[in-house]
Structures are given as C-alpha cells and as structure tokens.
Amino acid sequence: MVGSASASPRGEDTFPKILMQNAKVFGSRTAVREKDYGIWQSRTWSEVCEEIRAFSIGLKSLGLSAGDKVAIVGANRPRLYWAMVACQALGAVPVPVYSDSVAEEMAYVLGHAEVKFAVVEDQEQVDKLLSMSDEVPSLTDVIYDEPRGLRDYDHTHLHDYAGLQDKGRDLLAKDASLSDKWEEGFAGGKGSDIAVMLYTSGTTGRPKGVMLSFDNLVISARNGNAFDHLNETEEVLAYLPMAWIGDHVFSLAQAFTAGYCVNCPESMDTIDTDRLEIAPTYFFAPPRVFENMLTQIMVRMEDAGKTKRAIFDYFMGVARAVGEKILNGEQVSMKDRLLYRLGDFCVYGPLKNRMGLTRMKVGYTAGEAIGPEIFQFYRSLGLNLKQLYGQTEASVYITLQPDGEIFGDTVGKPAPDVELKIEENGEVMYRSPGVFVGYFKNDEATAKTKTPDGWVHTGDAGIIADNGHLKIIDRAKDVGKLNSGSLFAPKYIENKLKFFPNIKEVVAFGHERDMAAVFINIDLTAVGSWAERNNVNYASYQELAANPDVYAMIESHVDQVNRDLSQEPMMAGAQIKRFLILHKELDADDGELTRTQKVRRSFIAERYAPLIDALYDGSTSKHVRTEVTFEDGRKGAIEATVEIRDMNAYDAGKGIQEAAE
C-alpha cells in the first residue's frame, strides 16, 4: 500500500471524517481548482473543509436530517462535490443525477429516490425541477449555485448556495460550539452507512438506484490508489457526469482518500483546452473520448502539408513497431530506441502536449471495449493507458491491467481484494469489498443480481485467459450465433469499424439470421472535413450520409474489416454481407443511445425494424420515416430513402493474398 500510505494510514471510514483529516494533514495543499472567468481558481483542503462545513450547517438550518435524500444536478462544479460531503456530514444521502437527462427520466429518478432537497447548478436545472414538482412530491427545497436569471423567482423554497453558506457562517459565528457539534454529528458515522445512491443509466428498463456504503467506496478507492501508486500530488480533470460511478470514485472517493487535486473545467465545451492547461497525471476517459481525440488528430493530419504528414507517418510507424515494447520494458535495439527518442521529440511529444496528456502517469479507459487499434495508438506514444473493467455495483473496480501486463484484448487481472469466477453460461461474477449494498426499493432486482453470499452477476460474457487476465467478449445476452452456426459478437465487429475516423457509430445484426449486416453512422467531423476538401456540398447529416462518394468510402472500410475478420478463425463466418448508412445520427435524446453514449441495441432494432428487414430481404434501397426529438423536447420527423449495399466476403485465411493482388 505504498501509494496511499501518505494519505491514509489512518482509519477514517467516512468522507466527512476523511475531510477533517485532510484539512489537518494537507491543509495548505490545493484540493480543488475551477476555471472561472478565464483563470484557474484554487482552494486548499482547509478552505474546502470550511466551505463544506458552512454549507452543511446551512443545510441543517433548512431542516435536512439523517436519512434524507438530496439530489445533485449539474455539471462538475466544486460546489456540487462539496454538497455531497456536506449532506453526508448530516447523515443524509446524496443522489447525483445525470443533468442532461430529459425531464421525464429525471422525474422518475428523483421521485423514486424520494429526494427532499436538490442542489443544482443553474436556472436550467431549477426550471426542470420546478416543472416536475408534481412527480416528486417529496421535494421541498432547491438550492442553486449560479444565481443568474433566478433573481425574480419566488425564494420561499429556493435558495442561493452562497447565501446558504453565509447563513451557516453566521450561525457558526454566533455559536462557537456549533462547529464541534457538527463534527460530533458525524463522528459516530459508520463505514457501513449508505454514502451515496447512484442510478444506473440502464441499457434496459428503468434506472435502478445502487446504494453504496462508505466502506464500499473508501476501501475500493484506497485499493485503487495503492494499485497505481496514486498520492496527493496527482491532478485529475473532473469532466464526466457526476452521476456516473467513475466520476464519483475518481473525482471524490479517490481524491479524498489520496488527497489529490480535482480540476473542474470552465464549461463542457472547453474541456480540451482545460485538459491541455492542467495536463492531468491521472486520467480517465471512456473509449469514445480517446476515439474522438484520435479522429481529430487524423483529420488535422490530413489537412497538414506533405512534409509534415510524411514525418508523422514515418514516426507513427516507428511507434507502432517499438513504442509499446519500450513502455512495457521489453528488449528493443539501440537504433530503435534512438529513433523512438527522435520521434518523441518531433511527433509524440507535441501530440501528447496537444491532447494534454504530457504528464499522464496512468490513464484508464473503461465503459465498453476500446478498439485495439485505438488502444495501441495511445500506448505506442508512450502513454500508460490501461483498461479496467468495472461497474457501478462494484464501486468501479473489478479487474485492472497491472503495469507491464497490457494485452489489448483483455481487461486485466482482478483488482485488489476482488474474487472472480465465470459461471457455466459464460457470465462473469465477482465478489469484493466494493459490492453494493442493494438497489434502493427494489429487493427483487437486488436478489437477481447479488447472491446471498455476496457474488454479483455482471451480465457480461467472458473468459479467464491462461495468464489470469479476464477477456470480455460481449454482453452475455448480446453474443449470438448466425444461422450457419458461426459465432456472432456484434461489439467486436462494431469496434473494428469504429476505428475508421469516418465512422462514428455502428450497430451490427446477425443473431439467428443468415448473415451479419450493419447500420453505420458516419462521423460528421471527419467526413465533413473530407467533403470540404473535395468540394462536396451538403446541408445536413442526412444529405452527406446519402452521398455516393461517402458510400464508396464506407464500402472500402467495410471491405477492409471483412478482410481482417477473414483472418480470425472464430470470426471469419461473421463477415459483413450488407450495410447501410443511417439517415440520422443516433442520439440519446431519441433513446437510441444511453446517457453514457452506449448503443441501445434492442431499442434500435425495434425502431428501425423496416430497415433491418430491408437488410435481409435483398432490396437495394428503402424509404423510411423516423420520429426525432429536438433539444427543446419538440417532436418532428425526418424522411429518407436509404441505400443498402452488398459486400463480398473473403474466404477464411485468404484475405491477405487478395489484398495483395
């Protein structure tokens, strides 16, 4: 336990207690930074402690008491993180909610959680909560961080965050013993108390409220810190939804237990610049973020001059050949090492700097499988990017890739204190100190997911390889078979296609069908840039997607994937026989993606049933009409005639020869 030794040799078992300890030990170290008015504004641990105390006492004066639930809605703002600990200090349970979810979704979660208070970011969220007051009868008071536009609202049950803190400060000034009383209030808190309730985004059905105890979070966080030797000197960027377990653990639990600094970006649109300025040492991102960064680089390189492109291509070749080996500490010839150094100076260094990853000690990606090519790209640059496999129900960590044992197709070994086993049907199961207490008000679902002796069903199919690493194939229920009996792993095919910068999203079909076929979403940034360079006019996504040249381009990508698939004995049978480019982008507002941007397969299958039929009935085009939801909640419809193309399959193992012809 080297990494966290400096931060947590003590036995503090709840976040309020850890906060008091950090204020003592790290008093003058920066705990939080937020970019505001163009400047990074810092707060030390002792200042944070004061802020949280004032707010907590303010909340108490409003009548918040132990056991109450408090919704936290908004983007990553320090004040919202503080609010969570302020609630915990009173024994109340914070419930962070996805702030961009539509009113109906949010109303369900808040109603189900029976929240009493809500701490929200701004007017937009206040309006949203006001509109759902009938569905959430338990809600009595709303506290907002950003007062703009709210001046003329009725303030009997609406409070300004700063105002409430001032009230807390006044009370503290009047009564000297109040601060001690406040500390006594949580001194008796136990690690087994519920720390937070996180609603899972739910690929299927209604979201479920996962109850996590302080023990779950604190022990998992300390294990995570120790595993990667994280200490109080780390810098992280808090930019992922606060309602997501990953952010909760990385930006709160691990930050508190290790004592490191959390940086909140200025706005959701400035994350790239902010990351560049902060250069986090510990960085977490879902595969999509890494994909986007890579796409942007590739798009820009295509616009670069010939010389630059030649240098880039040459050194990327060097990196592909030896970069990972150097990172893993393997044997590499002197010449290659020197070349790699030179490449680092000319290409990799500047690239890492652009991405804000120069100081990255360790980076993780999880959430879904990352395309092996994308993963290798970052590792070959010398970035210690690793995969982990986790779940809300496990307080994130199930398996992690240890340094030096990175295999693109596995998600690593069991995290510290985690036991792993594979069920007979191939489903992965685990047991750990991070295993959740239960689903809130849903014992039936709890019983289905968690066995009485503490094992949890992940819902993922996987195998444990000879080297002890876990390999996830797909969602247990998604892996299927073609009618020919060949294995059909949709995500595997999708990820292969998604590596192409021109392709943003893919949905593959094939289970219990004669052949594999895919829907494709083009990437508007990449294809748009191509269109600009080639003088192709287009007014909308729909028009660009239907362009014959775009079709030809995508066809060549699909062909390439088929060639790759033909090389893999297990997958050769599932080559893509037909594809189409969807006439609209898949969107979370239309329910096609989850809030964490994962494809909702069954929903899409239902919504685009006519298109799927067309894929399999041999027709070459199909007219469709699709209802869409605009950002303001209005509905509309778009119509299009979608073209469907046939593809050639390669004989297993012969792809390379044909490619060479």
Residue 133 interacting with other proteins (CB under 8 A): yes
Name residue 641's amino acid.
Answer: T
Considering only the stretches 484-492, 532-540, 624-632, 649-657, report the one whose residues sit in contact with other proteins under the rule CB under 8 A: 624-632
Q: Which is nearer to other proteins, 157 or 325 (CB)?
A: 157
Considering only the stretches 72-80, 132-140, 164-172, 226-234, report the one whose residues sit in contact with other proteins under the rule CB under 8 A: 132-140
Residue 269 interacting with other proteins (CB under 8 A): yes
Q: Which is nearer to other proteins, 92 or 503 (CB)?
A: 92
Partnered with residue 638 across adjacent β-strands are 626
Please compute Rg for the chain using Cα positions: 26
- HSE-CB at 339 with a 13 A cutoff on CA atoms is 16
Q: Which is nearer to other proteins, 63 or 468 (CB)?
A: 63
Consecutive H or E run containing 394: none
Site for other proteins in 152-181 (CB under 8 A): 152-154, 156-157
Least CB distance to other proteins at residue 35 (A): 8
Structure tokens at 545: 């997607």
Q: Which member of 166, 187, 300, 630 binds other proteins (CB under 8 A)? A: 630
Return the exposure string of 635-657: e unless at least 16 CB atoms fall within 10 Å of the residue's CB, then b. eeeeebebbbbebebbeeeebee
Partnered with residue 97 across adjacent β-strands are 73
Return the exposure string of 361-380: e unless at least 16 CB atoms fall within 10 Å of the residue's CB, then b. bbbbbbbbbbbeebbbbbbb
Q: Which member of 9, 11, 137, 188 binds other proteins (CB under 8 A)? A: 137
Q: Which member of 170, 266, 373, 568 binds other proteins (CB under 8 A)? A: 266
Residue 424 interacting with other proteins (CB under 8 A): no
Residue 629 interacting with other proteins (CB under 8 A): no
How far is the C-alpha of 521 from the C-alpha of 336, rounded, in Å?
39
Least CB distance to other proteins at residue 132 (A): 10
Q: Per-residue x/- marks for other proteins, 138-157, CB under 8 A?
A: -xxxx-----xx-xxxx-xx
Q: Contacts with other proteins: how many residues (CB under 8 A)?
A: 29
Query: Coil, strand, or helix at residue 643?
Result: strand
Site for other proteins in 10-39 (CB under 8 A): 36-39
DSSP code for 649: P
| Spatial contact of 645 and 555, defined as CB atoms under 8 Å apart | yes
Site for other proteins in 471-530 (CB under 8 A): none
Least CB distance to other proteins at residue 632 (A): 7
Q: Which is nearer to other proteins, 345 or 630 (CB)?
A: 630
Q: Which is nearer to other proteins, 273 or 657 (CB)?
A: 273
Considering only the C-alpha atoms of the chain, give the largest distance between any 2 of them, rounded to a whole number of Å.
86
Considering only the stretches 127-135, 317-325, 485-493, 584-592, report the one whose residues sit in contact with other proteins under the rule CB under 8 A: 127-135
Neighbours of 404 (CB within 10 A): 10
Q: Are strands 282-284 and 362-365 parallel, antiparallel or unpaired?
A: parallel
Site for other proteins in 38-67 (CB under 8 A): 38-39
Residue located via tokens 């809130």: 440
Name residue 550's amino acid.
Answer: V
Would you tell me which residues interact with other proteins (CB under 8 A)? 36-39, 130, 133-134, 136-137, 139-142, 148-149, 151-154, 156-157, 266-267, 269-270, 273, 630-632
